[in-house]
Each structure stands twice: as structure tokens, then as C-alpha cells.
Structure 1
């Protein structure tokens, strides 16, 4: 590990006490539509080494399937999608199609859920190769296979023998897949088994053991000679604004405490305190010691390089060793977006791992890309990719009226939270209801207090499958002392109003977030909870802030600018703005109407715009004045 050099500003930015959250692992509910937490999947595009042995399951007689005595009478199946027994595909909770190069020729599947439930006889089943394999010319065998696995309560193993199963050796697979979690449906597993080097009588099998699970697909197994040099980029973390020395004893759980942001308002992103720095988890899959080199590039919306950083690790990784590297954590090293440099739009972050002084034999799993977007007013953890559902009912303990979950946001300037939007999925029930709460941390009482709340919003059929907007009874003004930061919590409070009803918020599984991106409070609890098996997914909840627009922002009340009527039914008059530029901006950051070189009195027609809140900006040279306009037709 790199010697830890934590920036002073980073520690100052993390103003909320660690002790504010209870941390626990929660039991997922199985009755959740499309609830799958994918491990961060770094692509593995191709094998560059020739296979010594391979099998694509096109000949079922190559394999034997069995289960242990006094366990559930269920075996592995070799099939295609077309020839699969009724109800075998897809396994419950695994909606994605399994992907492998020869999926149409056949694959192996253990559908653990089919016909089972918790408390049934233990499952203990395996599929193994029939004929032994000669690896006498292979120094370090690597097994490579396509797979798709989702865990509930089982443990799965790769097992091998050199004496026809008199002696069994095993290694557990999928360590990083938590309960309710899954690999990607096209995951490529690399497994080095040097103990089988130069053995001539090798058999292997895949073994599923436990009480109840979802399913496990396997296809396209090959054996290659493991290369001397092969680093794998396992996962990445982009730290926004704050971090904790997770190397310190007792602080390990605070790794990536900032989590990820998909959208960040420019007034937050362009302060001098808005540092961005990184972590990379690297695995040495080669047989020789290797020194990792990491290159990080940030590209702006106009495809210009906004930031590059090269890091050479200060220690070698032994074969089979994995480590988490701290990148750009030193003075002057993080990415800081200058106030004069930002461009609204998407910034791409590209990671690449190489080996110091050597060529990586398998570069296909050495790169990863993610992104964030700089916006006018929109603050979001998600990146706009709807591929799941979430809500308190994803947990066995959730689904009760009054349950809440929240996303947290960091602010460096005093601001007003104008409104919040949440994506309510189409499989929710009309008649259920939500309240949106904005909470701030009180350092005196060491508690989260409600700053403002929306009225109870009862969902109608037209709200399902859309973004729903929440405005607040009291103005949500957040004061941030100069040079400091503040955390706010935007929380949805759920009211199902009947056990048969469903209420789900959209979820983005593509963002490499941590457990700290979302917090939970179930009915009857008094403290917010960080659930340690909820990660790489965030709720689609977005906050819209009224920007301060510099150190001395002006409102219309502080100028001679007049705007009327407000609320407007479609037409608004703006006066005393001769020569200025007028912009009417919706809360998605889109300019819906504008006037260049305005007259003294200007009539602006908004009759084609949707009801809601808009920001009116008057730009006159270097001076900007803003006001809110409510459109109610």
C-alpha cells in the first residue's frame, strides 16, 4: 500500500461524524422485481494464449452430474435455451440472458431456486468432467470460463483431484458477490491453480452447497498456461471531496466514504475545495512478482484532456496478491476543476493498469471507464441509467409505512434546495404515497434534523414510470460557513397503504458507488443505517439547487429588475434589463426561452412550457441576477 498522505482539505470536507450511522448487513427480500447487485465488472475481451484444453458443453456425455446423499434431489442440467426443461430458464431473480461465445451449443445450469425454499433439504450438487486431463506439460494451469452467478445463501466451489476423487481440493469462488448480488451475465472468471502444474491425471468439478440460492450458469471452459505477467484491474473508486484513512485500524469500513456522483452542479464542482482523487484495486494474476502502474485520464465534454495522472506503486505484488492503491492522494495531486475551466456536460474518467518494465500478457482486463456530469443545478448520485428498482422493501425488514431511505450531498456554498425529483417505476401501485424530507446534521445534538419537508404526495397512474417532483412547505435554505462544507440528506418517506401495494424508486446499477451512497431508516428506528451489502447501485433521487452564482450573487429584489406576474399563467413581463441577456431555465438545466440584447420591457411567452419552477437569469456583462418563476397554467 502507498504511504497514506491525506490532504488537510479532504479531512476538513468530511464534516459529518462517523458515529452518526449504524452499520449492518441486511437480509434482502426475494420478492423484488429485478433486484440484482452486480459486482463492478472489468471487461475481459479475449484470451491471447492458446487453449491447452477446452469444452463448450456441446457434448453432455463429457460431464457427470450428481448430488450428495440425503440432500435435495436436484442436479445440474446441460441444455440450450431451446432444449431446457420447462421453467428452468430463467432462474428466479436472474432476468438477464446468459452470454457466452457458444451459448447456442449448450451450457451448464444449476437452478437452485426451482422448487426450493429456505428450510428445504440442503442442496449439495456438482458437475464434473468425466475423463481425466493431462496437464503434464503445463507449469501453471489457468482455468477460464464464462459464468453468470447470483447468490442467496449458498457457497460455491471449484474442486479438483489427481487421484479420482480420493482426495478433494477446493477453492471458494465469487468472494465479492454478496447475498442478493450477482456477477454480470457475461462474466469471465480467471482461476489460477498452480497446484495442478505438471499433473497428468486431473479432474475438476463445480460444486454448489447450501440451503437455497438463485442460479449458476457455466460455459466455454478452457485451460491455458498462466502467463508470467498479468495484472487485473478489479475495481475502481472515484472519491469526490472527502475521504477517510481506511488503512487505520477501526476505519477500514470507511473506504470510499464519498461514494460516487453522477451529476454535480457547477457551483459545487468548481470550488477550491472540490478535490477528486482515486483508488484502484489490482490483482496479480501472473506467476511473477509485478509492480503496478496506474494511469488516470479525465476528458472534458469537448474531448480535451482535463487531467492526467501517472502512478507507480511503491511495492511489488506477489503472484495471487491483491491490493488497493491510493492514487493522487498527495498534495497537489488531485483533480481540481477551476471556476474558469468547467464546461457543462459529461466528464469521462479512464483507468488503465500496466506493469512496470513488463508487458501484460492479457491487457483485456486492464482498463475501466466511468463518468460524472457537471450541470447547472442538478445534483444526483445516479447517472441516468434505469436498470433496477429499490426502496425499503428490498429488505426483509422493510416495506412498512414510514420507512425511509436517503442520498447524501456535499455543499461548499450556502444555497437553497429548490425541489427534488425521484423516478417512480411503472411497477408501483397508484394510491401509494411519498414525502420528501431534507435533513441537515446538527453538531450540537449530533442528530439529523428535518430542515424542510414536502406535503404528502399521493401517486396517480400518470405518475408511474416517470419523474415525480417534490417542492417544500418551508424554504430549504442551507447555510455553509465560508471555507467549510455541509452535508444534506434528501430522504423519501414511503407509505404503502396496504400490504398488497408496491412502491419502487428507479435504481442505477452502472455507477461504481459504495455502501455510503445510500442510507436507510426503517419505521421504529431512531438512527440512520448504512447497509453494508448495498453497493454499486444508487436510487434515482435528484436535488435541484438554486445557485449562488459567485461570492456576491444578486436577486431581483437587490436590483431594479421587475418580473410579473409570478406565479405566471403563461406570459411573464421582465423590465429594467435593457441590453442584457435573459434566460429562462428549467430544473433540468435546459434553457427553454432566451432573449439576447433585451429591451427595457420584455414579454416572454411560456405557454408551451410545463407547469413548475423555473430559474430566470439576467446576464449583464459580468453581473448575473437570478430569481425563481413559478408557472401555473
Structure 2
């Protein structure tokens, strides 16, 4: 089992232009169709400006840009053939040509985009690259070398709504140029954010920005600005212009000491020649090794509303995830435009999504995730190691004032520095209402299957589903630290194993049922915006709650050492190994008893809970 982790903080790099031959440069700062450019469309087409966002497609700031906004054009718009076309390009004197531009295309509501080329005046077009969906502006680089030596070359940016009321595509800073002969760029260090201690392999991606095919390159790394460098000469390559290559450096890094490291990696000597542009050669990342392996719990924040006809997809996703992954998934339903809306939470999440339903998983990369993809992203993240554990302690409930106070505790297992913050979210299950604004719009009615884990099919429900038939779970009632968390709740200098806590309070409205409410604690990394880890528990402390479910629960299961036994106040807990040996006894256990098997070997253990002459036996799997 992994015992140490690395905290990777990406540092951006730029692709500067030195000794390149410019063929076309356009930044759209004129605010209208540039001279020599053309556009074709069966609908609204392309527009130019610095704020072309719309209700369900928000474009991040990027000076003046060009955009085909199908959302703003309305449901009747035909945005399937929106072409923005460069002036004719004479490439007869060039042997290698590169296109580079900034792109924003989320792919929401069936939107697609492609870069295409025509050599017959636009009569026919050939796709040279389909554009991948991203959640922010991204610099894209494609080769046009297949058209070097030709005259009258048109490059078309094709936005396609595919017959739907889609979102759109925005572009900026178009640059077409002949590259220099030898130019290699270091793109990224791809080693997982947190890895086990010892000898760590550094993985990365490089790109050939030169005119010649890349056949060899030196990849070099150093630690903490030291003079000792480690070089790996990669040979036998065949990387074409603008092509990328993923590698694993042959020299590993020793990170057995719990501390932070500055890792610098760079490329040199493409094909044994001097690199013509050294500005794009280097990438750095901060890496921190950890002393323990906390349990990772994934957080999904779903955006929806009763008015939204496709939002049953989000309700089903949250229901299914809670059923299948109760111990390692926390679902949060952030409502928009209905009686359950929390304006702070709703307004903040809206900055990261392009429509409804939508959401984020751990806020990773600031990326938007459709609820239908929650499980896929969860599977990719559930085994990721995290540097911090989260707990919720000292819950106190005042039944008269209806105020609950509690501590969210974050414990890091490394010595590091940074801006990390605690946060707390209040959730409520079983929420319902009687007016029409509580009725759930349902576009799946009569024609599209949407089936939850219990076999309920929204195709069989009316549109809308009456309020009397709707009960909403996982509803976000309050986000106590705001979107980013509580400033100063974790110090900037962190010592390995030291817990940091913050006390929150919340007054439960009389319209809410405190017995159906939960507290979610989390730790947020302000550098990446990511939720590093979280924990969820019931809002009412044991002393204020009548326990109706006597069956004990173990979570997480499997565990890497520490797990909890729930619903057994006053019971005796025994832990046995598979050899029939009793290895632990806890008398008079509390309702949320923590069991630590960190010093035991991996395998299956038997947990016996003895309460009121009743014995319940369960298995726990220890994986280290």
C-alpha cells in the first residue's frame, strides 16, 4: 500500500516565438470580422467581442475573441455549419507549417468543433483535427505541413450544434507560422499528484515544435534548484511536427524524507542540435512526500433545479452513487432557481458549469462533469491518494435555539506550506413541498429511458412530476465557509501529523428536519481549487438522536488501517483475525467508534459487535 504522496502543483509554460516565419496572426482585437476573413452559416454565425457569454454558456475572460454562440442564438438557430475562415494562404514556399490558437469549447448540449482545410476555395473541407472539450481556454497546436507547398489554402474553424440547441465555440490569438528547424518543448510532468515514498519515477510529456521530425532528445531533472542534474537521452523516436511523446525518466527520485521538493524538468539537444527556442523547455512542480495514507472520499457537487427537464439525470446519478458507494462518495445537490436554492452555493458553482444538469467531482481541474459521468470520474479518483484526512468532532445541538456547533478537523501527513482551507456544508434529505415550484420538470417522460438502481424509470413519470410525488435528497442547505472555504482555518506552514480545526455553527430553520440532516467537512487546496478530501456525518450528535437502526455499519470497507463502526452505543467490539485469534477488544464503544488496524497485516478480519445479548458479525478487509 502506498505510504507517501506527492503534491504536484502545475506551473504553466509559454510557447514563445523566436526565429519563426509568421504567415498569419490574428487576435480579433478589432472587434469585428477581420479584413480578408470570411464566415458562412445557416444561422447566427460568428460574433466578435470581449463578453459574448449567454445564460447557459459562460465564456471565461480572454480579451476580444471570436465566438459562435448557439445558446444565445436560440432554439431555432441552425448552428451546424458555422465556419470562420482565414484569408487564402499561399504556402508554396514553406516546407513545414503550424497552426496555434486559443480555444474554449465545453462540448455542452451536443456542441462539437473542428479545424478544417479547403484547397478549392471552400467548396469542400477536410477535417485536420476535432477539438476536445475543455472547461477553460486552452492553447491548441496542429500541424498544417500536409498543405505546405500549396497555394490558396483556407483554414476553417467549424462550430457545429449537431441540430441541437447547443452551447458554442470561442477562439482567439490565431497564429500560423513556419517553425524553426529544431525546437522541443516540455509540456508537463505527469507523475501522479501523490505517490508512495522511496524511488519515484518521473513521467512527463514533451512536444516537437520544430520543423524536423524529432528522433532523439535529452530529458533532464533536478531537485530544489540543486546543481546535480540527471539526464536521460531518449533515442529511436519518431515524433512529427506538433506531435507529443510521453516518457518515463530512467533516473528515479529519492523522496523518502517527509518534506516538500521543487522538481524541475527540461528538454535539450533535439536530434543532437541546439534548441532554437529555449523559452518552452522547462516545467516545475512542487512535490511533497507524506508519512501516512488517509482514506480518500470523493465529493460530487451536482447542479440542477425543479424547472430543468433534463435534471432528473442528476437526481438519479446522486441516488445511484449514494447506493453503490456509500463509504467513499459524498453527493451534494446544489439547486438552482427553485425553493431549495442556496444563492451562495448556486452562484459559485454556476461559474464552473455551462448548463443544467451539470456538476463537478472534487472540483478537479475546475472541470465540468455531467452527472451521467459521475461514476466514471469517481472510479478514476477513488484510489487517488490524498495528503489530508478529515474528521468532524465535538458536535453539540441546542434543541431550544436549534443551533448546532461542531469542529471540522484536517490533519496533513507532510511538512509543507500552502493555502489550504477547511469548509463545511449542511445537507438535508427527504425535502418536499406542495406548490408547483416543487414539481420536477421531466423531459424523459414518454420517450427516453432513465432508470435508477431500484428500477424506477423516469420515462414512465409525467412531465412535470407533481410536487406531491417528489422527495429530494442530498440538498445543500448551507455552505458555511463559502465556496473557497474559511480563510486562515489552516496555517500556511503545515507540520506533519498536526490536526487543524475550525468551529462552525448553524441554526437549523424550523422548516427543516434536523434528524434528516448531515454535515460535510472538507479541505480545499486554494492553488488548484480542488477538494482534497472530505468526511460526512449526521448533524445530530448521538446524545440528541434516537437510534432506530441497530445494525452496525463498518466504513470505509475495505480500509487501509482506520475504519469506523457506527450504531452501537455502549456495545462491546471484538476484532478477530482469520486464525481465530482475538486481537482487540473495546468496551462501552461510542456511536461512531474508530478502530485502528494500521499495525496489522493486510487481510480479512472479523468484527463482532455485542450489545444487549445480541451478537452481530461483520468482515472488514484491510489493504495496505
- Please give the TM-score of this superposition, normalised by the length of structure 1: 0.47
Higher relative contact order, structure no. (Cα contacts within 8 Å, ≥ 6 residues apart): 1
Higher helix share: 2
Q: Normalising by structure 2, what TM-score? A: 0.48
